[in-house]
A and B are shown apart, each in its own frame.
Chain A
Amino acid sequence: MLYFIEQCLNGVQLGMLLFLLAAGLTLIFGIMDLVNLAHGSLYMLGAYFAATFAAFTGSFVLGALLALVATAICGMVLEVIAIRPLYGRPHLDHVLGTFGLLLFFNELVRLVWGPAGMTLSLPSAMLTAVQIIPGLYYPLYRLVIILVALAVAALLYVVVMRTRLGMLIRAGASNREMVGALGVNIKLLYTLVFGLGATLAGFAGLMQAPILTVQIGMGENILILAFVVIIIGGIGSIRGAFVAAVIVGLIDTLGRAFLPDVLHSMLSVEAALTLAPAISSMSIYMLMAAVLVVRPEGLFPAASR
């Protein structure tokens, strides 16, 4: 039972990271109608920046803050230079252009930081485990990820639902032309939204960095998961992204943890060991396919366009 709770927490933690990535992706998708395959590169950049700045300043927190600023700047510069000409073009041109950006960033990182990958070590205070309920010790850092990501989600909710900027973002998601016609500086709005998305992606990357190694291509696997999340949640819906991210995180983690045993009770050891990883990796894609067959617009379709 304790093991189950622990795995659930792991699932929620993965879900939170996916949410940070998917929130930016779904905003960019919903508002600018842009398929951004380079979003995972910003996740990677966030992790590399954090590792570099943390080594440079000697402080994890300071390094993380600097990395956030750096990723935000990178995102906005990228938007102005490379992304802006792609708005309004067919989706396949987005795929071509941002796939090019993905190749570019992978090589750039290899050029600047080398092919070996990096590690980002946690401050010693974070290395302990805390007792959540009697008998269950959980790594403090993973708990911090969950709480910080929840705080970011709440902040995002407040910004999107309660501020003028958020009002414009929502208006942009439902009718771009009308927002522009009403005299809003739509270019600036797009740059800000892209910068916000980049910051969230970079944040996800630097939070994940101490758990996994920082390496080239780290954004590619998780980018696809984030796409699955926004498709399940419904494109343009932050609420949908949140719900879908938690579902995907839980299914992925619990599948990996428990499927081998479940299968083992039905099949031979050998068959279970072969099937379990494949099925648990496939499970979220099966979920997505099922959701799309039943609800082709996702669980929470954004205001109909």
Chain B
Amino acid sequence: MKAARKVFGVPLPACWLAPRTALPAAVLVVLGLVPVYAAATGDPFALTLFGRIEILAMAAVSLNLIMGYGGMASFGHAVYLGIGGYAVGILWKEGVASGFVQWPVAVAVSALFALVVGALSLRTRGVYFIMITLAFAQMVYYVAQGLDRYGGDDGMTIGSRSSFAGLIDLNNATQLYYLCFALLLASLFLVSRLVNSRFGLVIQGTRSNERRMRAIGVSPFRYKLVCFVIAGALCGLAGALLADHTNFISPAMMYWTRSGDLMVMVILGGLGSLFGPVLGTVTYLLLEEALSRVTEYPGLFIGPALLLVAIFMHGGIEGLFGGRRRD
């Protein structure tokens, strides 16, 4: 037992100011203060950039729930961004502008799709699971390409953001930003409650040893399926938000390289740590943004950086601060 650190003789809680807790706290504070910075400098681009980061972080958090905690490496997770986005876009095109309809539909369709995909693909494991989830995502990608009424291959601009009957105005950049922020916090809260519940313990136990979980009388399949559906629904919500944020949907939202991006964000941040995906997303997207300002060829630096992370940093960014590696 280490002695608690003391400040002026007052012992601090053991975890206080350890880098593992201080860094996520600092990141959240910074994210919370972005609108202040944007208002002070009159730079609306910061709001757009960080709003996008928060939405994709939400998607990464949902992927981490199945991939990090559940050991289900889905290589088609961007499909839920697409489904959520298309739910908003298609409903808008058909004259339904209310967010109270659009968003629940986005979540429900994503959950339903995850249920079908999960029921079929959770029979396989390892690389086969990676590939079959990819296959389902590619199918939806091609369906979206064929939807000529909704832009086909080129995508479609959405004319108006979801309306919430005066409750919140998404056309106000600051309100939209804080909605993204709040939903990110809510997803983190949801995942932290989930993984520390009995349900989450079964999921994590199944990841480390499915046979033992069966031996102690748990049927892992149902738990994994429910977990898969929750992650899909959460990512579908992020997709709806993304459509409202960019006012644009296109099949490219769910191309396999987008799923690869999401995987990279989660692994970069640290698999199976609550805050890792947020760190990974912030790092990945800010690095991309910063590099594209100084060089015309950001990939020349990001690519090798990812390789170095894969080779040297076991456990991603979170692993640097003593996070446990979960394979």
Contact = CB atoms under 8 A, between A and B. Distances in A.
Interface of A: 29, 35, 37, 82, 85-86, 89-108, 110-111, 220, 224, 227-228, 231, 235, 274-275, 277-278, 281-282, 285-286, 288-289, 292-293, 296-297
Interface stretch (B22-30, B142-150, B168-176): B142-150
Interface residues of B, number: 46
5 contacts: A97-B309, A100-B264, A108-B300, A289-B120, A292-B124
Contacts of B267: 92-93, 95-96
Interface in B295-313: 297-300, 302-307, 309-311
Given A37-B260, A104-B300, A107-B303, A278 B142 contact: yes
A93 B131 contact: no
Interface of A is mostly: helix
Given A97-B307, A104-B304, A278 B136 contact: no
A108 B307 CA distance: 15
Contacts of A274: 146-148
A241 to B, nearest CB: 14
B310 A292 contact: no
B157 interface: no
A86 B139 CA distance: 31
Given A100-B303, A281-B142, 14 more contacts: A86-B310, A92-B73, A92-B263, A96-B309, A99-B264, A103-B299, A103-B302, A104-B303, A104-B304, A107-B299, A288-B131, A292-B128, A296-B124, A297-B128
Interface of B: 67, 73, 75, 120-121, 123-124, 126-128, 130-132, 134-136, 138-139, 142-143, 145-148, 256-257, 260, 263-264, 267-268, 271, 297-300, 302-307, 309-311, 327
Contacts of B143: 278, 282
A103 B136 CA distance: 24
Contact of B135 (A90, A277, A288, A296): A288
Contacts of B303: 100-105, 107
Contacts of B256: 220, 224
A89 B136 CA distance: 27
Most buried by A among B139, B268, B327: B139
B195 to A, nearest CB: 18
Kindly name the residue among B128, B130, B302, B303 whose own CB sees the greatest number of chain A CB atoms within 10 A. Answer: B303
Contact of A89 (B121, B123, B132, B310): B310
A167 B132 CA distance: 31
A15 to B, nearest CB: 18
Contact of A231 (B67, B128, B145, B257): B128
Nearest to A235: B127
Given A92-B271, A99-B260, A107-B303, A86 B311 contact: yes
A96 B147 CA distance: 32
Contacts of A85: 311
A95 B263 contact: yes
A49 B303 CA distance: 21
